[in-house]
Amino acid sequence: MIDKKNDSSRLSESGESAQTLKGAAYVAAHLSLFPERPGVYRMLNGQGKILYVGKAKSLRRRLENYAHPERTCMRIQRMISEIERIEIIETKTEAEAFLLENDLIKKLKPYYNILLKDDKTFPHILITTKDEWPQMLKHRGARTKKGEYFGPFASALTVNETLAVLQKAFLLRSCTDNVFYHRTRPCLLHQIKRCSAPCAGKISKEDYLSLVGQVCDFMHNKSTRVQSDLAAKMEEASEAMRYEEAAVYRDRIRALNQIQSQSSDLDGIADCDIAAVFTDKGQSCVQMFFYRGGRSCGNFASFLPRTEDRTDGEILQAFIGQFYMTHAVPNEILVSMSLPEQDIVSQALSDKAGHIVKIADNVRANRRRLVERAAMNAKEALIRKRMEGSSRAELLEQLRELAGIKTPVRRIETYDNSHIQGAHAVGAMVVATPEGFDKKSYRKFNISWNSFTPGDDFGMMREVLTRRFKRGMEENNLPDIILIDGGEIQLKVALEVLKELNISDVVAIGVAKGEDRNAGKETLHFADRPPLKLEFDNPLLHYIQRLRDEAHRFVIGTHRTKRRNDTLVSALDSIGGIGAKRKKALLQHFGSVKAIKAVSAKEIAKVEGISPTLAQQIFDALK
């Protein structure tokens, strides 16, 4: 690929410098510089911000459209008016341009592109077939471990339910290597017939690897062969009057039937994804269904912003392009309507996946029924989200009136602190917007006691708010309302911080717990009026309670993590012979105390300055 940037020193035919041109005039003046080859183009404004990323079979012909804004919709006209620079990247094929385009969109997040905002990783089931004694576990993230991966599953609940049934059917171990190689007696999972206990020698390696092969065959949609083998073994054990052994095979067959009963309507469908879109009033929802090995792996809904003036096919194509940049591509993708460039998308995904990827829209029988189900789910999900958004908008309007704010509420921050007699002190901030909780904006604050007495809740609140608002002023990122978990004194601290920093357009409200700390009897404290108690069944009170409870949940989780980590570090400090130098060597070698806890004494002894005897002491202490 060749990256070509326009040379601003070149003059257009009219003699005007490129520096003085903008918008459609800039595009028209530079058309001769663009090749008639496939590639990707990036449009930038005067500050260097990426406005739009697109791809084309012929860059010159595609960009020529932007020289005539009167032919485009209002959204594109606004974008064209901001263009001050265009950069291009040539590619060999249009399919390669499609992949590059979506990769750049995910990285650069241009304002005028359709963006997949709620992209996430999905859990898989991993069987570590390369291990001496393979393990079956849930896996999320990069595929760094060697083995067989099955999925994706749309939710952790779906994968956990599947794992529970697979444990009943195939009895593979789920424990970590550290636990497995240091155990001498079977655990509870063996007693409830969820594990064959290879750690205690209850099964030979040959028989255990046979179980591994069976589960892999089953997950590869070869369940008929697996079940027939189990049925034959059950009959053989029964005829030999080994009834307990026969009962084990019977239970395993029942577990397999439990999984198969969930996918009885998937005849002829093995590995397939289904994508359906529903659009209404400028809002779009894409519903994805996953099917692997002839079984359903769940579904999820994705809501796409800024889809005005786009057809359903364009929205679905943009979603598919971005989604499969970071997810495994199945052999077949069923879509609720044809894509504008379906053949190109199919070829691009085939190149990425290394196998043929079929995209089909005009399907029949089971496939048609499943596509219709996905389309119905997309419609219902968008309707639910709109209803939730409408309800939330009403609550925000009520909160705006309560706080006495003239402009709409765009950002609410809720603060809470947690510690135990001054130890492991942390503060937390959660953020709510008209779209709901913005978890990417959550923040946690480690508290130091240098400037106030340990255990001083008011001093903690002052430190958290001071740090937050100093940075907020620098980044021009201040909320409309802050909710403080506490009464009149906590509110007074917040008001003092805002006054010291000369912040006058942020409203602070204290939320004091009710009598006996009962929910429903909270008192709201304000800076300029008497305290207020809302009615027990007031929806606004329930909304404020949800904000307060979310802050409490987040800070408690942060506090527990900090306490657990500090406890493990203290365990190192309590071991004789472990000073600052050896502790530093251990942490540099393993990265964290948690990582040290997960390895054997033999691995610990590999650290410079740690003898085998001392390594065993460390291992025992951390256990």
Comparing 580 with 119, the larger pLDDT belongs to 580
Mean per-residue pLDDT, 34-60: 93
Instruction: Report pLDDT for 421.
Output: 62
| Domain 2-108 bears CATH identifier 3.40.1440.10 | yes
Mean pLDDT lowest for which of 57-71, 80-94, 277-291, 550-564? 550-564
Structure-token pair, residue 360: 């089909």
Average pLDDT, integer, range 362-380: 90
**What would the two tokens of residue 603 be?**
């691995």
Which pair of tokens denotes residue 175? 């424990």
Confidence bin at 517 (pLDDT 50/70/90): low
H-helix or E-strand spanning residue 301? strand 295-304
**Lookup: tokens for 334:** 């069923």
Check the CA dihedral 482-484-488-491 and report its sign: negative
Model confidence at 483, in pLDDT bands (50, 70, 90)?
A: very high
Q: Averaged over 301-305, what is the pLDDT?
A: 86
Confidence band (pLDDT; 50, 70, 90) for 116? confident
Q: What is the pLDDT of residues 194-226, one digit of tens each?
A: 899 999 888 999 989 988 988 888 887 776 677
272-383 matches 574-622 in fold = no
- Give burial (CB, 10 Å; 0-12/13-18/19+) of 364: exposed
CATH code for residues 574-622: 1.10.150.20
| Geometric angle at alpha carbon 422, from 420 and 427, rounded to 5° | 85
Whether the pLDDT of residue 565 is over 60: the answer is yes
Q: Is the pLDDT of residue 114 over 90?
A: no
Q: In the chain, where are the structural domains located?
A: 2-108, 124-261, 272-383, 412-563, 574-622
pLDDT at 448 over 80: no
Q: What is d(CA 148, CA 128) in angstroms, rounded to the nearest whole number? A: 6
The stretch 572-590 carries a mean pLDDT of 73
d(CA 442, CA 432): 9
Pick from 565, 577, 581: nearest CA to 622: 565
C-alpha pair distances (Å), 492 with each of 111, 429, 486, 509, 533: 41, 18, 10, 10, 19
Do the beta carbons of residue 452 and residue 523 sit within 8 Å? Answer: no
Topology given in CATH for the domain delimited by 412-563: Nucleotidyltransferase; domain 5 (3.30.420)
**Who contacts 535 (Cβ-Cβ below 8 Å, separation ≥6)?**
541
Separation of alpha carbons 500 and 473, rounded Å: 13
Q: Tell me the H-state helices in 299-364.
A: 312-323, 342-353
Residues in a beta bridge with 413: 431, 482
CATH topology of domain 272-383: Nucleotidyltransferase; domain 5 (3.30.420)
Distance from first CA to last CA of the chain, Å, rounded?
A: 54
Residue 17 has pLDDT above 70, yes or no: no
Which pLDDT belongs to residue 1? 38
Residue 128 CA: distances (Å) to CA of 63, 133, 140, 451, 598: 50, 8, 14, 51, 18
